[in-house]
Amino acid sequence: MTAGRVIIVGAAHAGVQTAQTLRQEGWRGEVILFSGEAGFPYHRPPLSKGLLAGGEAAPVLLKPEGFYDKNGIELRRGTRVCGLDATARRIEAGGDAMGYDHLILATGAGPRRLAGTSAHNIVYLRAFEDALTLRSAISARRRLVIIGGGFIGLEVAAAAAAAGCDVNLVERAPRLLARSVPQEISDFIEARHIGAGVHIHKGVEAFEIEERDQRAIAVHLRGGGSLPCDIVLVGIGSEPDLSLAHMAGLETCLGGIRVDDRMRTSVAGISAVGDCTAFPSALASQYVRVESIQNAVDQGRAAALDLLGKGTPYGSVPWFWSHQFDLKLQMAGLPCDGRTLVRGEPGSGKFSVLTLQGDRIRAAYSINAPADHMATRQLIAEGALLDPEGAEDATTPLGACRRIAAPAA
């Protein structure tokens, strides 16, 4: 199939990559890309990174403005798709109905919100305007309370502390990034934040936000304690946007749209890509949900190739990065149980933590060690066995630590 009308709902990384790959690989039919935002599609990572640290106060566009017209991609900005009839293969958007030959949902995931509050100075970092609100508060050195010790919360905490703000971070889990990284990485990042003046409250819950004149003035902690604030950032996870998926009767899994290894949903004529999906991971041998730029881009490419008859089973190794202060954390693979191996000295500010199952590397977390990160991505993709003793020696390149499996008896 190389012709017909493809409608893509969602114009972040996954949606734009899908459209780009369709054109690059020979799709001759219409490609219509719907974006709920009025501006041109832009990169999301800078919202919690460079923009808050004083970077240019303008979105970093995914593609030049002229890219879409030049490539025959009809970009409908500021238009939300509000209806879907999968049987008739028709969507509703902007008061109009439009048929499709194939629909690709790239609806992403939105921030999980606090119940029972509508204070104006509570921020959820999803869009460029949210980042501008935080940037203004940071520039004015306001008192910032962050609810949630995940990547968004920690990146904002780092930017705010570096700018001289009073920062309190509340995490109800016993450690930071508990679902994402090993203990050694959590401890190192926590120490760096504390050293920069961030006040971290672990194992406690923010149970009430005190308001005055529709503004949050304090966050109260369960068990006692109150944190005065000028602005509150909530970073307590995300929820996939499943509104259209439910209209179409799509199967769901792990809170996302269930897709197969070609990004096909349970309903013919509909694919899904990016943060809204749950997909079968060969690495984990089960369905997973992954929220990362890499996964969004790779799934967008995979869905487009499948539509063109060029698809192969999706098997990309997930990877992710985070900037905090002078630290660059790079991750490869998926969090899993296994033996932990520390490579290098954490005290040096440059080290990696590897997770092994048997002697096979399954996940890696590198602090200021980009060579380790690149090597582990390749090793995980290969399903390589490692010599653990050699891998612990940071002076030995990880690629030289492969161990040849014994031949089958």
CATH number of the domain to which 220 belongs? 3.50.50.60
Shared domain for 147 and 206, answered yes or no, is: yes
What pairing do the DSSP bridges indicate for beta strands 73-76 and 31-34?
parallel
In a domain, 91, yes or no: yes
Asked if residue 10 lies in contact with residue 107, where contact means CB atoms within 8 angstroms, the answer is yes
In a domain, 378, yes or no: yes
Shared domain for 230 and 118, answered yes or no, is: yes
Which residue among 234, 249, 284 closes a domain? 234
Measured in whole angstroms, the distance separating CA 375 from the mean position of its chain's CA atoms is 22
In a domain, 182, yes or no: yes
CATH number of the domain to which 398 belongs? 3.30.390.30
In a domain, 312, yes or no: no
**In this structure, which amino acid lies at residue 216?**
A
The residue among 326, 175, 179, 158 whose CA lies nearest residue 233 is 158
Shared domain for 225 and 276, answered yes or no, is: no
Shared domain for 127 and 230, answered yes or no, is: yes
Shared domain for 293 and 242, answered yes or no, is: yes
Mapped onto helix, strand or coil, the DSSP state of residue 114 is coil
Rounded CA-CA distance 216/176 in Å is: 24
Q: What total of structural domains would you count in the chain?
A: 3
Shared domain for 117 and 106, answered yes or no, is: no
Split at pLDDT 50, 70, 90, the class of 56 is confident
Split at pLDDT 50, 70, 90, the class of 258 is very high
Radius of gyration of the chain (CA): 22
Domain that holds residue 369: 336-403
Full-model pTM: 0.94
Which residue among 286, 307, 328 closes a domain? 307
Shared domain for 142 and 289, answered yes or no, is: no
293-307 vs 13-24: helix crossing angle, rounded to 10: 30
Shared domain for 128 and 230, answered yes or no, is: yes
pLDDT tens-place string over residues 148-189: 999 999 999 999 999 999 999 999 999 999 999 999 999 999
In a domain, 324, yes or no: no
Residue 409 has pLDDT above 50, yes or no: no
Shared domain for 162 and 78, answered yes or no, is: no
pLDDT tens-place string over residues 304-357: 999 999 999 999 999 999 999 999 999 999 999 999 999 999 999 999 999 999
Section 7-11 average pLDDT: 99
* 177 contacts: CB under 8 Å, gap ≥ 6: 149, 150, 151, 154, 185, 186, 189
* 5 contacts: CB under 8 Å, gap ≥ 6: 29, 30, 32, 99, 100, 101, 102
The answer to whether the Cα torsion of 365, 370, 375, 378 is positive or negative is positive
Mapped onto helix, strand or coil, the DSSP state of residue 97 is strand
The residue among 60, 17, 15 whose CA lies nearest residue 39 is 60
Shared domain for 85 and 150, answered yes or no, is: no
Which residue among 215, 234, 253 closes a domain? 234
DSSP 264: B
Shared domain for 185 and 267, answered yes or no, is: no
Task: Give residue for tokens 């932990």.
Answer: 340
Two structure tokens written together for 107: 């609806």
In a domain, 323, yes or no: no
pLDDT tens-place string over residues 283-296: 999 999 999 999 99
Shared domain for 143 and 203, answered yes or no, is: yes
For 334-375, the DSSP string reads ----SEEEEEEEGGGTEEEEEEEETTEEEEEEEES-HHHHHH
Residue 6 has pLDDT above 60, yes or no: yes
In a domain, 327, yes or no: no
Split at pLDDT 50, 70, 90, the class of 236 is very high
Asked if residue 274 lies in contact with residue 296, where contact means CB atoms within 8 angstroms, the answer is yes
**Per-residue buried b or exposed e for 232-262, using 16+ beta carbons within 10 Å of the residue's own CB:** bbbbbebebbbebbebbebebbeebbbbebb
Q: What is the model's pLDDT at position 408?
A: 40
